[in-house]
């Protein structure tokens, strides 16, 4: 493991000696799903002594089909995320899809996330940087890990050194992703904490034609492998009932699987750092 910059967030650090997990539903569906997920994951992570950031997207602008469910939109979505933040006292991460969303999102979110498909968009990175919030850049499936250096510089050269990088695999042939765990030390060597996205990495993009499929059974082995390789944190999409979710159901996990997997990954994290 390489020494990485520690990013302060509320009462904890991303990149420090405690595992950080970003987790929550994919596209925002309703208040009940948000609140039940936030409550369950807060309880699990508190019990295990894990740093926790609640994740949800108010809009999923890169869906496979124009008919795919996208979410509740920015205005309603940010309103509900603000309620989650207040009710459960949790930091929030959400993604933006154009530069104009950065400032409104930053009024609620503690971490502004740049989606993988949009990670090279300079105007978005600069707009996110100027909010002063932590910027989580998801590595595009079309990029090698070392190329993230130049994307991170777009943020740091804009006056914001609070950068986190999330890996989610690389495109391999048609309708498949593969994960190269060398990405963990390569990105850490750049000096940034690396989060591994264990649920998007098992997607089969466009695997069902008009929508993306996934292989949930591989979430656990990939998450454990990433932590064993030295990753600073993990990203999961979690839903009360993934098979009924309106977006990304095949690769999301439920509360029971989350608790079991969080515990194992936390044990590995602590063992690696002994």
Tell me what pLDDT residue 210 has: 46
| Alpha carbon distance 74, 72 (integer Å) | 7
Query: Domain extents for the chain?
Result: 18-272
Instruction: Give per-residue pLDDT as tens, 155-213.
Output: 999 999 999 999 999 998 887 889 999 999 999 999 999 999 999 999 786 555 545 56
Instruction: Give per-residue pLDDT as tens, 81-93.
Output: 999 999 999 999 9
Query: What is the CATH T-level fold of the domain 18-272, as seen in this structure?
Result: TIM Barrel (3.20.20)
Q: Lowest-pLDDT range, 1-15, 65-79, 141-155?
A: 65-79
| Alpha carbon distance 252, 13 (integer Å) | 26
pLDDT confidence of 274, banded at 50, 70, 90? confident
The stretch 71-89 carries a mean pLDDT of 94
Tell me what pLDDT residue 206 has: 58
- 122, pLDDT greater than 70: yes
Sole residue written with tokens 């590595």: 139
| Alpha carbon distance 207, 157 (integer Å) | 38
The stretch 261-269 carries a mean pLDDT of 98
The stretch 98-123 carries a mean pLDDT of 97
Sole residue written with tokens 């950068």: 163
Instruction: Give 135 or 1, the one with higher predicted confidence.
Output: 135
* Helix, coil or strand: residue 206: coil
Sole residue written with tokens 């602008």: 61
The answer to whether 97 and 118 are in contact (CB under 8 A) is yes
Tokens of 162: 């609070």
| Alpha carbon distance 258, 239 (integer Å) | 10
| Alpha carbon distance 32, 252 (integer Å) | 17
The stretch 224-244 carries a mean pLDDT of 97
Burial of 37 (0-12, 13-18, 19+ CB in 10 A): buried
Whole-model pTM?
A: 0.94
Rg of the chain (C-alpha set): 17
| Percent of the chain residues past pLDDT 90, beyond the cut | 82
Tell me what pLDDT residue 54 has: 98
* Mean pLDDT taken over the chain: 93
The stretch 61-75 carries a mean pLDDT of 76
Tell me what pLDDT residue 242 has: 94
The stretch 236-241 carries a mean pLDDT of 97
């Amino acid at each position: 493991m390489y020494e990485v910059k520690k990013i302060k967030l509320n009462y904890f650090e991303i990149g420090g000696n405690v595992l950080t997990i970003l987790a929550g539903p994919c596209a925002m569906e309703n208040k009940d799903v948000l609140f039940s997920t936030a409550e369950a994951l807060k309880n699990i992570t508190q019990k295990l002594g894990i740093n926790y950031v609640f994740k949800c997207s108010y809009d999923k602008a890169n869906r496979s089909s124009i008919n795919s469910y996208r979410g509740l939109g920015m205005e309603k979505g940010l309103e509900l995320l603000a309620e989650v933040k207040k009710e459960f006292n949790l930091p929030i991460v959400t993604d933006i899809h154009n530069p104009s969303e950065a400032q409104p999102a930053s009024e609620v979110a503690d971490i502004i996330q740049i989606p993988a498909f949009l990670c090279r968009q300079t105007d978005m990175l600069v707009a996110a940087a100027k909010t002063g919030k932590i910027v989580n850049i998801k590595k595009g499936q079309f990029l090698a890990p070392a190329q993230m250096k130049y994307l991170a510089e777009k943020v740091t050269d804009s006056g914001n050194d609070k950068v986190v990088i999330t890996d989610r695999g690389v495109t391999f042939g048609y309708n498949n992703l593969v994960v190269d765990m060398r990405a963990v030390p390569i990105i850490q060597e750049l000096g940034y904490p690396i989060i591994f996205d264990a649920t998007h990495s098992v997607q089969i993009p466009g695997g069902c034609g008009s929508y993306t499929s996934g292989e949930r059974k591989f979430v656990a082995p990939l998450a454990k492998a990433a932590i064993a390789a030295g990753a600073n944190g993990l990203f999961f999409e979690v839903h009360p009932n993934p098979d009924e979710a309106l977006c990304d159901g095949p690769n999301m996990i439920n509360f029971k699987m989350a608790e079991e997997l969080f515990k194992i990954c936390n044990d590995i994290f602590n063992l690696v750092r002994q």
